[in-house]
């Protein structure tokens, strides 16, 4: 029998330690505003209003995109727009206005850039609002869900597994509360928090539950910086942007001396008509500036963001679009990615007494006094009346214990939720009283409760991974493996006389039953995996669950290599060996959060571009280190904070669209970049040839406008939006220049040759010479477009044909030919130009074939 005083103590402990009870000890001095001891009811509505009036609100503006002013400034006030603007102003002075058409093109392109980015801003802002976390606070004695910006000083903020700490504060309630501060300190080990301990914003909960009082809000809190950085519409460095910047910087160096030489030569040649000299000089400078390349890159990124936004995919950083195009390995967390969040409890299998071993609270105990007193054993509990083995095997007893485990968990995970749905009904007589609870932790892989059982004994009941709680070689493990091979999830229920706060609560565990759960596979998972296989993207499943169970799920979905799952506890520690193992293995089980991070790093060390998907706090470290982190919208806020991409609808089937969008954007930008740089190269070459030969520049600005529009600007816009599934590769600058430089040299040489031959026949008719040069350059440039547009589809052929037809109209329609100052005289010079263009085309084809072989 139990002493009455002990019963009273038990009641006190029950009321103060049960999860969700209001009697969790408070942190003295946690309240920072002189309101006295912390009240469990939280702030009142009047107190909240008073703090709002004082400005003590967490009102840090978190922007998901650039402001309107920043968008306009970024698109209008650029170095290249300044150059073009100056040239346009010069043409307005010297006239005629036809030669200033290039200025209208710049205005139109800039407007397109602003409009597209504003559309992206609207989409991002709306999606960011949808994806924003809603923390819970206790006010007027009830839990309320508020927005991040509505938290005020001294609010009592409630925490559960996966929640991010939004503001700084002091712990007031703690129920096995473990905080991961790795985003702040770099240390992966969780920190156990007690009442009175400090809480830093930016950390997140990995186990347990609790509450804290907000002591710093708004810009004073460290989270203000983290939140703004995590969700800002950023334009950070990437290989694509860095490559374009390098190209443009080099062009700028060429531009200045070439422009000076061109100005001097044209003034010398056109002494009698300085206006004509200025027009020819402007015509030579404007094509050197590949302004459309920068603009088209921004537009393509913005359109990509909008398209993904329509699929409920939040892109938190623009470079994520590029990263997606380069991904060749996708690491998937099984739970929440391949399987749905929910689970069903399908069986409860009691273990035979022979398998279980003696109960340490019974008469066959190995304790010192033989009656379960556990003298001298650290963390031993008061035994009370023992439960016989046949009682412990009774399914109803096991169900009652599982129900107590479920009711004690204030933030159940899917496995515990299945237990609650099966056995979590209330215990009217309170025969199984919770004295202490320890929520599930991915690090220890079990949860537990300390119970006062019906006959008065105290014992700890643990529910967790069988291969962690059972010793190697235990007979029950064979049954666990058999069930796991069927794709079922198996947990072990056991009982121990050791307290939960002992150094090793599972040391004297008596296994009593296997809890069998069935995971719900996502309907779209198999199709998505097949897509990745068809696109040469490796899919690797990295899970904390049993390797056999994970392998069974992956095999059911048809993932190649899933029949050889690997238990991560056998992973080598040597970096080289780990990289080899990570490269050749498809399915990993029993992976700790740190091992997920190590596996991502190992794959990256072998040159892989890795995307990591996940929804739980155990995925945060790997998500943060992966090249692209993809979080599920319903997952923990910590994962959403560190991921570059958030799937707000939790649809794994969205991933192929995400990858395809990234490839489309980057592949097409690389494709059209060659067109812009070919123009730059031949423009610089023509300018240099004109300077050295002292002849009039062959084109007027209006000629450059029509050539650029029909061979580059309009086609590039359509090509940039076309489907493209080719995975992006490193070496963007090298590949683009390998096409642009020889093609530009061929185009410039062919054009200047045709121009000089025409001048030799009628040196006084500059309009006829210019017309031949324009015809030749158009034919060569359209040939370059035909090479870039491969492989052909009906619409690409139609696009090339339309551009050719448009140029024919310019030559044949009188008012257009007069407007653009084009008139082909006779037949010899035009056909000479055509012959030179064909010869140049043959050289372009040879160059393209050589480049194709070098890939």
Instruction: Please return the burial class of 692, using the count of CB atoms within 10 Å of its CB with bins 0-12, 13-18 and 19+.
Output: exposed
Active-site entry in 328, 333, 625, 829: 333
333 is catalytic: yes
Cβ–Cβ < 8 Å for 648, 631? no
DSSP 261-309: HHHHHHHHHTTT-HHHHHHHHHHHHGGG--HHHHHHHHHHHHHHHHHHH
Q: Transcribe 771-823 into DSSP letters.
A: HHHHHHHHHHHHHHHHHHTPSP-HHHHHHHHHHHHHHHHHHHSHHHHHHTT--
What are 650's two structure tokens? 């939790």
CA distances, 90 to each of 84, 176, 281, 282, 376 (Å): 10, 73, 11, 8, 96
**Are the beta carbons of 581 and 603 closer than 8 angstroms?**
no
Tracing tokens 């069986």 back to the chain, one arrives at 347
SS3 339: strand
How many whole angstroms separate alpha carbon 311 and alpha carbon 671? Answer: 26
Residues 37 and 434: their CA atoms lie apart, in Å, by 27
- For 91, the enclosing helix (H) or strand (E) is helix 79-94
Let me know the angle formed at the C-alpha of 475 by 469 and 477, rounded to the nearest 5 degrees: 50
Those residues with Cβ within 8 angstroms of residue 145's Cβ, 6 or more apart along the chain or in another chain: 134, 135, 136
Taking only Cα atoms into account, the Rg of the chain, rounded to an integer number of angstroms, comes to 36
The kind and range of the H/E element at 7 are: helix 4-17
- For residues 138 and 41, the answer to whether their CB atoms sit within 8 Å is yes
Half-sphere exposure of 589 (CA within 13 A, CB side): 24
Contacts of 67 (CB under 8 A, 6+ apart): none
Angle, alpha carbons 509-515-518 (nearest 5°): 145
Name the strand (E) or helix (H) holding 614.
strand 610-614
Q: Who's near 504: CB < 8 A, 6+ residues apart?
A: 498
**Spatial contact of 179 and 204, defined as CB atoms under 8 Å apart:** yes
- 729: DSSP letter: -
Give catalytic residue positions: 333
């Amino acid at each position: 029998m139990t002493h009455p005083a002990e019963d009273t103590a038990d009641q006190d402990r029950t009321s103060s330690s049960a999860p969700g009870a209001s009697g969790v000890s408070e942190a003295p001095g946690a309240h920072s505003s002189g309101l006295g001891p912390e009240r469990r009811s939280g702030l009142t509505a009047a107190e909240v209003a008073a703090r709002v009036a004082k400005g003590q609100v967490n009102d840090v503006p978190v922007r998901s995109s650039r402001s309107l002013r920043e968008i306009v400034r970024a698109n209008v006030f650029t170095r290249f727009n300044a150059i073009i603007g100056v040239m346009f102003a010069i043409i307005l002075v010297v006239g005629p206005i036809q030669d200033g058409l290039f200025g209208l093109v710049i205005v139109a392109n800039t407007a397109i850039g602003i409009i597209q980015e504003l559309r992206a801003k609207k989409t991002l802002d709306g999606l960011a609002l949808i994806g924003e976390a809603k923390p819970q606070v206790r006010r007027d004695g009830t839990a309320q869900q508020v927005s991040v910006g509505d938290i005020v000083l001294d609010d009592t903020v409630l925490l559960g597994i996966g929640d991010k700490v939004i503001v700084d504060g002091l712990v007031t309630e703690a129920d096995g509360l473990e905080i991961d501060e790795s985003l702040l300190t770099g240390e992966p080990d969780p920190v156990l928090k007690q009442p009175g301990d400090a809480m830093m914003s930016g950390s997140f909960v990995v186990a347990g539950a609790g509450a804290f009082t907000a002591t710093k809000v708004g810009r004073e809190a460290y989270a203000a910086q983290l939140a703004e950085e995590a969700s800002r519409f950023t334009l950070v460095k990437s290989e694509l942007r860095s490559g374009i910047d390098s190209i443009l910087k080099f062009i700028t160096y060429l531009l200045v001396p070439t422009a000076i030489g061109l100005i001097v030569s044209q003034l010398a040649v056109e002494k009698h008509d300085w206006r004509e000299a200025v027009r020819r000089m402007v015509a030579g400078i404007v094509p050197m500036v590949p302004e459309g390349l920068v603009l088209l890159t921004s537009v393509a990124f913005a359109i990509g963001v909008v398209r993904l936004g329509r699929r409920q995919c939040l892109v938190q950083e623009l470079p994520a679009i590029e990263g997606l195009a380069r991904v060749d390995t996708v690491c998937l967390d099984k739970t929440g990615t391949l399987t749905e969040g929910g689970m069903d409890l399908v069986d409860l299998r009691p273990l035979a007494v022979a398998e279980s071993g003696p109960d340490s609270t019974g008469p066959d105990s190995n304790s010192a006094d033989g009656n379960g007193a556990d003298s001298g054993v650290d963390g031993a509990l008061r035994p009370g009346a023992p439960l016989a083995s046949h009682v412990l095997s009774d399914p109803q007893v096991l169900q009652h214990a599982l129900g107590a485990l479920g009711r004690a968990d204030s933030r159940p995970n899917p496995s515990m939720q299945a237990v609650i749905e099966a056995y979590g009904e209330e215990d009217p007589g309170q025969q199984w009283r919770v004295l202490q609870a320890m929520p599930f932790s991915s690090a220890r892989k079990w949860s537990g409760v300390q119970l006062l059982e019906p006959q008065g004994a105290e014992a700890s009941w643990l529910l967790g991974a069988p291969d962690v709680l059972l010793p190697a070689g235990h007979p029950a493990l064979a049954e666990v493996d058999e069930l796991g091979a069927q794709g079922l999830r198996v947990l072990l229920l056991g009982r121990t006389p050791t307290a939960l706060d002992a150094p090793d609560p599972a040391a004297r565990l008596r296994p009593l039953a296997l809890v069998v759960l069935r995971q719900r596979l996502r309907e779209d998972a198999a199709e998505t995996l097949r897509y990745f296989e068809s696109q040469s993207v490796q899919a690797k499943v990295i899970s904390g669950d049993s390797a056999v169970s994970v392998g069974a799920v992956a095999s059911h979905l048809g993932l190649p290599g899933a029949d050889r799952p690997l238990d991560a506890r056998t992973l080598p520690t040597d970096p080289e060996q780990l990289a080899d193992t990570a490269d050749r293995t498809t399915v990993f089980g029993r992976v700790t959060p740190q091992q997920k991070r190590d596996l991502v790093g190992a794959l990256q060390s072998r040159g892989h571009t890795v995307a990591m998907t996940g929804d739980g706090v155990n995925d945060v470290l790997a998500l943060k280190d992966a090249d692209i982190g993809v979080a599920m919208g319903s997952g923990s806020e910590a994962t959403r904070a560190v991921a570059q991409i958030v799937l707000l609808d939790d649809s794994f089937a969205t991933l192929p669209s995400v990858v395809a969008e990234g490839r489309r954007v980057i592949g097409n930008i690389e494709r059209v970049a060659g067109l812009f740089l070919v123009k730059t190269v031949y423009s610089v070459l023509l300018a240099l040839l004109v300077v050295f030969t002292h002849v009039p520049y062959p084109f007027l600005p209006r000629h450059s406008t029509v050539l650029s529009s029909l061979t580059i600007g309009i086609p590039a816009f359509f090509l940039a939006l076309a489907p493209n599934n080719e995975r992006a590769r490193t070496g963007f600058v090298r590949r683009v220049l390998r096409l642009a430089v020889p093609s530009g040299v061929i185009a410039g040489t062919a054009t200047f040759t045709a121009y000089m031959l025409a001048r030799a026949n009628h040196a006084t008719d500059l309009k006829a010479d210019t017309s031949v040069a324009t015809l030749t350059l158009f034919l060569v440039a359209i040939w370059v477009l035909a090479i870039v547009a491969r492989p052909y589809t009906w619409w690409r052929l139609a696009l090339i044909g339309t551009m050719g037809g448009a140029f024919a109209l310019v030559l044949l329609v009188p008012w257009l030919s007069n407007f653009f100052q084009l008139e082909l005289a006779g037949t010899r010079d035009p056909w000479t130009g055509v012959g030179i263009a064909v010869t140049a085309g043959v050289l372009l084809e040879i160059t393209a074939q050589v480049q194709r072989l070098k890939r």
